Structure 1
Amino acid sequence: MSGAVEVVRAGALTTVQDEGRVGWAHLGVPRAGALDAPARGLANRLVGNPVDAALLEATVTGCAVRPDRPVVAVVGGAPCRVTVDGRPVAWGAPVHVPAGAVLDAGPAVRGLRSYLAFGGGLVPEPVLGSRSADLLSGLGPAPLRDGDVLPLGHPTPAPAATDAVPWPGVPAELVLPLSLGPRHSWFTDEALRTLTTATYRVSPDSNRIGLRTRGPALARTREGELPSEGMVLGAIQVPPDGCPVVFLNDHPTTGGYPVVGVVHGAALAGAAQAVPGTRVRFVVPGGGTVRGGAPS
């Protein structure tokens, strides 16, 4: 270990995340990992870390930490006010935090999740090859509490200075391209048209497990439920209320509600920052509509 950071203010929900536990779903282990992968990678690059280094994901209210050695840090993802010992510093760019100073990432001004990266990365003990916290299974470090201490890795060389950094924007509307299946035949033709033409809204009940939506219910042609079957990242499961749920990083690996389609993985980063009430549209790539159970 080469130093540590103490959690001064844990906020509503702050977790350690990296790229996640990729490749373990066949054993029933969820993926976990940072929901906004582009923000995770950019924050790490700006402090000289590999893109998959572990960092902090703070939700809505931000968090504050105190390193016991000088460290280069970046706060990115959801825009927020950033201070070091109460003095304003840059958001989205590397800042030098002296030993014993408090780095505070305030509440998100837009979006939901801010990312705090530190030179050398966070190095709590990995579980199945990842340091990510998984809220569903409980694997990895627990959600942070005030007073927790996290080890830092060895300092990395100072990154090159940058004039401008292209942080992804926070979506005013979430457009999610999808591929139908495997259970789209469980839904009426009208339901499939509704799915790809209606506007949904992000539900306040959304979390790291799934993006829940509110909007027109999708009518089914078959009653009952399926035996549990494998679920993938981005699967659009439809529970009994008929409103689509998009599975995110902490999703279960099996489920019994029918999956009407799967959102393309590259589009899921926007879901990490979509606040409750954000418009959601599901689209078929190429601009097609759905007729007779298939895109046209």
Structure 2
Amino acid sequence: MRMTVLRTGPLTVLKDAGRPGHAHQGVAPSGAVDRGAYGRANALVGNPPGTAVLECTLGGLRVSFDEPAVLALTGTDAVLTVDGVAAGVEEVVHVPAEGTVAVTMPKRGLRSYLAVGGGIDVPPVLGSRSTDQLAGVGPPRPVPGDVLPIGGLPVSSVSSVSPSTPDPQESFEVDLGPRDDWFTASAIETFLSAEYTVSPASNSVGLRLDGPALTRSRPEELPSEGVVRGAVQVPPDGRPIVFQADHPVTGGYPVIAVLTPQAADRAAQLRPGARIRFTRAPG
């Protein structure tokens, strides 16, 4: 089976579970920005975990298939349409041969995940089909006219997965550290109480936040050290950056806290202008 890309919208890339194990080569894991939504999309169409999908930012994607296909769309409230007819959200959709599928612009959320039964079978790079937009590793971004092969992977029974709606709550749980001791007590209090706004400069590398600056207790430079998805790094201007899936392997500024995995998934759906707060994770 083949899928032809007709339109990509603002940004469409290929994503899977990422390429862990290459940090020593300067290559970050990358992978889907919202891992929960990515996993649900594959489960709905019966794909094994780790299968490649399309990650679509703010809708606008349009594709067609030369054979009947099974699809699912997750992550936002964007609607999947088949030949112009709304077909559903967070549910299995059957598409006839030569059918045209489109993803509408979501009213809530940022990134939608389009899974196809069998998976997108482009050649992997370092064991992954994820496009890393920071390092430039992985398959290139699809463009109109591209024809993407759909794999013949063993497909399990189509799953019944509970839909997930973006949580309207604005609090994001974090574990403090590993460098919270580089900040004053008042900075920690501010971090855990103040409201921050997502900057338009945000992307899949990191969420840049506007709000109160966080004051350091130590003036010296921090040697570069490893960072992870969800790490909240504080550069010299004192305004936090939340690393997302395409984050660098190392960072040279202190990390005041790290989002829980569930909070990191929710952060992947934040649009510029969204207002958020941080709170300590239980325990």
Q: Are positions 1:228 and 2:227 aligned together?
A: no
User: How much does 1:156 deviate?
Assistant: 5.3
Corresponding residue number in structure 2 for 1:104: 102
Corresponding residue number in structure 2 for 1:91: 89
Q: Are positions 1:257 and 2:253 aligned together?
A: yes
User: How much does 1:55 deviate?
Assistant: 0.4
Amino acid at match of 2:144: D
Q: In the aligned structure 2, how far is the partner of 1:146 from the partner of 1:128?
A: 26
Q: In the aligned structure 2, how far is the partner of 1:62 from the partner of 1:37?
A: 21
The answer as to whether partners of 1:196 and 1:281 remain within 8 angstroms in 2 is: yes
* Gap regions ≥5 residues in structure 1: 288-296
Corresponding residue number in structure 1 for 2:38: 40
Output one character per residue of 1:29-88: Cα deviation in whole Å (capped at 9) or x when no partner.
Answer: 111111111111111111111132100000013301111211111122111132111122
Amino acid at match of 2:278: F
Amino acid at match of 2:103: A
TM-score, normalising length: structure 2: 0.93
Quick one: which of 122, 127, 137 aligns to 1:139? 137
Q: Are positions 1:51 and 2:40 aligned together?
A: no
Q: Are positions 1:266 and 2:262 aligned together?
A: yes
Output one character per residue of 1:156-182: Cα deviation in whole Å (capped at 9) or x when no partner.
Answer: 5584575xx422221323422222222
Q: In the aligned structure 1, how far is the partner of 2:87 from the partner of 2:62?
A: 14
Corresponding residue number in structure 2 for 1:279: 275
User: How much does 1:112 deviate?
Assistant: 0.4
User: How much does 1:285 deviate?
Assistant: 2.5
Q: In the aligned structure 2, how far is the partner of 1:4 from the partner of 1:59?
A: 22
| DSSP 3-state at the match of 1:173 | coil
Deviates more, 1:148-157 or 1:234-243: 148-157
| DSSP 3-state at the match of 1:108 | coil
Corresponding residue number in structure 2 for 1:176: 172
Within 5 Å, which residues of 2 pair with 1:1-296? 3-154=1-152, 159-160=157-158, 162=160, 165-286=161-282
User: How much does 1:111 deviate?
Assistant: 0.4
User: How much does 1:185 deviate?
Assistant: 2.2
Amino acid at match of 1:149: V
Corresponding residue number in structure 2 for 1:294: none
| DSSP 3-state at the match of 2:62 | strand
User: How much does 1:199 deviate?
Assistant: 1.6
| DSSP 3-state at the match of 1:273 | coil
Amino acid at match of 1:58: C
Amino acid at match of 2:151: G
| DSSP 3-state at the match of 1:282 | strand
Amino acid at match of 2:33: L
User: How much does 1:189 deviate?
Assistant: 1.1
Deviates more, 1:102-111 or 1:215-224: 215-224
User: How much does 1:155 deviate?
Assistant: 6.5
Q: In the aligned structure 2, how far is the partner of 1:127 from the partner of 1:222?
A: 41
Cα gap change, 1:143 to 1:279, in 2 (>3 Å): same
| DSSP 3-state at the match of 1:89 | strand
Deviates more, 1:19-28 or 1:127-136: 19-28
| DSSP 3-state at the match of 2:142 | coil
Output one character per residue of 1:195-245: Cα deviation in whole Å (capped at 9) or x when no partner.
Answer: 111121222221110122111110122335323222122211111221111
| DSSP 3-state at the match of 1:197 | coil
Structure 1 runs (4+) greater than 4 angstroms displaced = 155-158
| RMSD between aligned residues | 1.8
The answer as to whether partners of 2:196 and 2:210 remain within 8 angstroms in 1 is: yes
The answer as to whether partners of 2:59 and 2:78 remain within 8 angstroms in 1 is: no
The answer as to whether partners of 1:170 and 1:274 remain within 8 angstroms in 2 is: no
The aligned length equals 283
Once the two structures are aligned, what percentage of the paired residues are identical?
48
Deviates more, 1:200-209 or 1:9-18: 200-209
